[in-house]
Amino acid sequence: MTLAFKDGVHACIPTLLGYIGIGIAAGVIDKSANLSILEVTLLAMIVYAGAAQFIIAGLMMVATPVSAVIFTVFLVNSRHFLMSMATAPIFRQYSLLNNIGIGSLLTDESFAVAMTAISNKVPINPPWMHGLNLTAYLTWVLSCLMGALIGQWLPDPALFGLDYALVAMFIGLLYLQLISDKTKKIKNKITAMLTVSIMLVLLLRFISVELAILISTFIGCCLGILVEGKNDNV
């Protein structure tokens, strides 16, 4: 059976609350940084990255130069390069246009959902991926717009635990990834996770969060294949 667009939409549903929670929070925060409703919506449509949208609002509030804002956002989102690198080989045989479409809308969450599907031997294809990505995209843009609209009278999104939606989603995605990917030994995966955590804490003393995330991920992946290589030889 070939997976269709609607199967991708279906696969996206469990992550929607995460997008809605964070999207509303991002909209509220962007609005409180004196961005207009139009600007908040354009940010969501064109930049389409949660963390970056929070940071842009913060930087614009203190009138940071355009070049500095763009460079910061580049650093924040450079992890997308790693995610796209990991996803691209799966869709290699399909058309360039399909590939650009998939890459343009790839997020932390759609990436994790696709990778978990792969681990579970689900034969994913471009229509499925577009269904997953577009559902997420529309939900995100609408949530940011809604956040901007209610930002005028909502005092503090943290009061409702909205800010924790993102952390909860990462807990869920991480756990699902941990139990679903059977190609790697659990011991190797935990070694990589511990390496990332320790490196992150150490690096954060010296460099920004975005760079620390990128470098600790890089080191974690290196250690992962290193212990894997050792286990294979035994």
Partner 1 sequence: MTTYSLLIILGCGLVTWLPRVIPFILVKKIQLPDIILRFLCYVPICILTALFVSNLLIVKEGKFPELNMTYVLATIPTALVAFLTKNLMYIVISGMCFMAIIRHFCI
Instruction: Please check whether residue 145 is in contact with residue 40, taking contact to mean a CB–CB distance below 8 angstroms.
Output: yes
Shortest gap between Cβ of 6 and partner 1 (angstroms)? Answer: 18
Closer residue to partner 1 in complex, CB, 1/100: 100
DSSP class of residue 63 equals: T
Longest C-alpha distance within the chain, in Å? 63
Q: Which two tokens stand for residue 78?
A: 């450079």
- Residue 67, CB half-sphere, CA atoms under 13 Å: how many? 0
Closer residue to partner 1 in complex, CB, 1/172: 172
Closer residue to partner 1 in complex, CB, 3/48: 48
Closer residue to partner 1 in complex, CB, 5/181: 181
Closer residue to partner 1 in complex, CB, 138/174: 174
Shortest gap between Cβ of 96 and partner 1 (angstroms)? Answer: 6
Shortest gap between Cβ of 221 and partner 1 (angstroms)? Answer: 4
Shortest gap between Cβ of 189 and partner 1 (angstroms)? Answer: 6
Shortest gap between Cβ of 61 and partner 1 (angstroms)? Answer: 12
Instruction: Answer positive or negative: Cα dihedral of 62, 60, 135, 74.
Output: negative
For 164, counting Cβ atoms within 10 Å of its Cβ (0-12 exposed, 13-18 middle, 19+ buried), the class is middle
Going through the chain in order, the beta strands assigned E by DSSP cover none
How many whole angstroms separate alpha carbon 43 and alpha carbon 170?
Answer: 23
Q: 63: left (phi > 0), else alpha (psi -120 to 50), else beta?
A: left
